[in-house]
Structure 1
């Protein structure tokens, strides 16, 4: 079950570029290109990294057990094969990537909140955008504030960083599965339509 969460989470997010459709030049051309490029690039990278990790730990029972038990497989492998200096580079890259994912997720979420509020499914104040930039700043502040609040609550009750990530990942994957199912259901052709 843990592997399923990480497998779905590895693919979740490729569709985030679609939320930027209103700000994109020629969205009917550029959004599909961004989606296809994202799926292809992350697919190749995902397969390559899984191969590297599987071979790095080994395919025998001991290797599979170590792979399953490590909290950060690439950092562990980097330390084993390249040394501590390279494992620090990989760890820093992972932290930078996680940090970049937070504002990226907030930006996508804020545009969804903005669109929902604009269509009457939220407070009208969230349907306003900044006159200078066109960004939905109120919705962005709300989404960022909710994320920071939940993180502080998890930290306040003593949840470890790994468990906090796992909680968010699990909840996020469940939400993504529901959204994907609803989107798939929504594109089923209706008779007479």
Structure 2
């Protein structure tokens, strides 16, 4: 009996998820309501004000161009390691494991950030409705437990849960958007948000930084390749669909929020009440109950993101273990669910540890846990995507498996240039993103470099270990 069946050793993931299911997983990780209700007001207040919707469109365009080469290369490989697997295929195993280090850091950090924000949000809602004022970390532990149960089981179940939550989430966002547009906003409908003047006002670099951060998780289209139906067709379609849907939803919803207060007044409104800006718009244009529903659905949005990130991390460690770069036990699959259940358990433990460290330190779940970890994840994922862009260019130049000029040369190069430009802007504004401490910014950037170097070291050690094993077998006499 195979290891996949027994769960006793490295196996193969099982699932039958289609294009729609994968798109749900990706958009769930992007957490649209969290982006519109939480990140957008800050983006407007300290970024480029009414020009925020254009920042989302630019981010989507850069990622869409990047996705051309990404999707083209997906036709030549199906590996649950996504960015890590692409970098390894294009630039070699050492760089691949360095990229894996960045990927694990990115998803671990962003998931910890979301646990902090979700726990603080639940704490506030419970107190608001007359419940007990429990410590935020207790709510975080409840969320960790729920995610652990769903993450342990088949990806098909997780996709169904995320699908339901996502339909509700997108529904309330579209209701707000159309409510504002139908009623004409605060001062009529205008398109100032999409003009160069608005985009370049204030700090467009900060706006782009938040916009790119809102797309974290879109590589999940390839992460689930092994569990997809007809992956060579499913992955490219899901990649394009996810980027386009996320970009359009963000642009539409952010434009509606701008119109709800007026292009000339939205910056002041966001600075005065960043936490309540979107919910105030919902109360005004949809009614008070709608704002209450949106606040509750913010929790489900955050939960959907947590589950999506949990699934991504567990599959990354599964891929690494199957390649021999992590303990082999992590490559086991569940005999019934076909899920990377050991990796899922390991991810649950790591999330508990990270959240526990911040809780024991008495850190604020939003100002410190969320802000620091989200900033760390943003830079890390950008570096990872730049590496992936270079790997795609190198792969097609070396193999000549695809000779389409746009798919294998022009689009990958343009995507790489765009990502490098965005990375430079983010680094230039990184101190602002994580709260203004230059020392903390330097420490977090050092952590990113450390994880990449750690991956290179692991590659060297595992390569030497395999060489030693091979040499031992050659020297061992046969009987």
For residue 64 of structure 1, what is the aligned residue in structure 2? Answer: 267
| 1:125 to 1:58, Cα distance in 2 relative to 1, 3 A | same
For residue 29 of structure 1, what is the aligned residue in structure 2? Answer: 233
Q: Distance in 1 between matches of 2:298 and 2:292?
A: 10
Kindly provide the CA deviation profile for residues 28-83 of structure 1, in whole angstroms up to 9, marking residues without a partner as x: 111112112111211110110110111122222x4212224502532232234434
Pair 1:55 & 2:265 matched = no
Q: Distance in 1 between matches of 2:254 and 2:389?
A: 28
Residue 126 of structure 1, CA deviation: 0.9
For residue 311 of structure 2, what is the aligned residue in structure 1? Answer: 107
Pair 1:87 & 2:291 matched = yes
Answer with 8-17 or 132-141: which moved more.
8-17
For residue 133 of structure 1, what is the aligned residue in structure 2? Answer: 337
| 1:59 to 1:158, Cα distance in 2 relative to 1, 3 A | farther
| 1:148 to 1:79, Cα distance in 2 relative to 1, 3 A | farther
For residue 384 of structure 2, what is the aligned residue in structure 1? Answer: 179
Answer with 118-127 or 80-89: which moved more.
80-89
Q: Distance in 1 between matches of 2:244 and 2:222?
A: 16
Other structure's SS at 1:139 match: helix
Residue 192 of structure 1, CA deviation: 5.2
Other structure's SS at 1:12 match: coil
| 1:159 to 1:82, Cα distance in 2 relative to 1, 3 A | farther
CA RMSD of superposed structures (Å): 2.0
Other structure's SS at 2:390 match: helix
| 1:88 to 1:160, Cα distance in 2 relative to 1, 3 A | farther
Residue 17 of structure 1, CA deviation: 2.6
Residue 115 of structure 1, CA deviation: 0.2
Pair 1:39 & 2:243 matched = yes
Q: Distance in 1 between matches of 2:350 and 2:206?
A: 26
Match for 1:98 among 299, 302, 314? 302
Q: Distance in 2 between matches of 1:13 and 1:76?
A: 29
Runs (5+) with no aligned partner, structure 2 = 1-204, 400-479
| 1:86 to 1:123, Cα distance in 2 relative to 1, 3 A | same
Answer whether contact 1:129 1:138 (CA < 8 A) is retained: yes
Residue 187 of structure 1, CA deviation: 0.9
Higher relative contact order (CA 8 A, sep 6+): 2
Residue 2 of structure 1, CA deviation: 5.0
Answer whether contact 1:117 1:123 (CA < 8 A) is retained: yes
| 1:150 to 1:76, Cα distance in 2 relative to 1, 3 A | farther
Q: Distance in 1 between matches of 2:398 and 2:295?
A: 55
Aligned length: 192
For residue 214 of structure 2, what is the aligned residue in structure 1? Answer: 10
Q: Work out which of the two has the higher radius of gyration on C-alpha atoms and give 1 or 2.
A: 2
| 1:2 to 1:162, Cα distance in 2 relative to 1, 3 A | farther
Q: Given the two structures, how large is their TM-score scaled by the length of structure 2?
A: 0.38
